[in-house]
Amino acid sequence: MRVISTKDIIAPIREAVIEANYELGEDVIRAFQSGLEQEESPVGKEILNRLIENARVAAEERIPMCQDTGIAVLFVELGQGVNIVGNDLNRALEEGVRQGYEEGFLRKSVCHPFTRKNTGDNTPVITHLALVPGEGLKIWVVPKGGGSENMSRLFMLPPSAGWAGIKERVVQTVEEAGPNPCPPTIVGVGIGGNFERSAILAKKSLLRPLGSPNPDPELAKMEQELLEEINKTGVGPQGLGGRVTSLGVHILMMPCHIASLPVAINIQCHASRHVKIEI
Ligand code: SF4
């Protein structure tokens, strides 16, 4: 059995929180560049150029790429052969996030739902923990902004709605969101499971690098179909019109109850931040 001390988890989380907010992934920058080739609107092109420039300045000057530095979402895969020693794991994860937001001068964006009093350190953290075989510990650090999260939706469709019903809801959700999730977006779609699982699938689908194919050829075809429909809406970069409303659609799917067809749509803004660490 492998032993991991919670002391050795805090620093990598801290660094990942900072890196995620300062450095946009190469996959997203490449998608901006290929978006430039597809975009016909001069304003849309200008926005894509500015997003590329914004990402460069943030990385070089070590500043956040967006004022909304997000609520910290962590996807954790913990090997069953790992013995965590020291503090409890959740406290270590929260301490890493706390230190990252403090030392990286990142805006604290978490508050009491009614009083709106800020918790002051960007905790609590939203953690999704999965036990997996092996002796590894993998953590994806995913700061998520409020604008795009607010435009995300979940539908419990009748099974008869099928693919046509799913497609209609996804395109409608993106169209109604308009400029609010700061397009160009990446659209995560979770199909199946149950109410809460579909939402987690939708968010988890966004961890796949942009531009990489879905390993399931049927889902890959559906993603392409959805992307084409979304980009016909004309929402465009920052909602100011154009062809490039979304840079990609990612689907994760699993079986569901015979009476249900859950569909969750998690919209990710252009500040698509995720950093993976392995301990
Ligand atoms: S939706 Fe994304 S890009 Fe827009 S303000 Fe929020 S974090 Fe920033």
* Atom number of ligand 1 nearest to Cα 65: 8
**Alpha helices for the chain (secondary structure H):** 7-22, 26-38, 42-61, 89-103, 146-150, 162-177, 195-205, 217-230
Q: Is 15 in the pocket of ligand 1 (CB under 6 A)?
A: no
pLDDT value, residue 87? 86
Which pLDDT score, from 0 to 100, does residue 132 have? 98
C-beta of 94 in contact with ligand 1 (< 6 A): no
Which of 125, 143, 142 lies closest to 89, judged by CA?
125
pLDDT at 194: 98
Tens-level pLDDT at each residue, the chain (279 residues) = 999 999 999 999 999 999 999 999 999 999 999 999 999 999 999 999 999 999 999 999 999 999 999 999 999 999 999 999 998 999 999 999 999 999 999 999 999 999 999 999 999 999 999 999 999 999 999 999 999 999 999 999 999 999 999 999 999 999 999 999 999 999 999 999 999 999 999 999 999 999 999 999 999 999 999 999 999 999 999 999 999 999 999 999 999 999 999 999 999 999 999 999 999
How many helices (H) and strands (E) the chain has is answered by 8, 10
Instruction: Let me know: does 254 contact 235? Beta carbons within 8 Å.
Output: no
| Cα–Cα distance for residue pair 109/57, rounded to 1 Å | 23
Mutate to test the pocket of ligand 1, among 21, 182, 274 (most ligand atoms within 8 A of CB): 182
Specify the pairing of strand 261-268 against strand 275-278: unpaired
Q: Which of 53, 56, 54, 74 is nearest to 66 (CA)?
A: 54
Centre of ligand 1 from the C-alpha of residue 156, in Å = 27
Q: Measuring CA to CA, which residue among 74, 107, 68, 266 is closest to residue 185?
A: 266
Cα 268 to middle of ligand 1, angstroms: 9
Measured between alpha carbons, how far is 78 from 75 in angstroms, rounded to an integer? 10
- Residue identifier of the C-alpha nearest atom 7 of ligand 1: 145
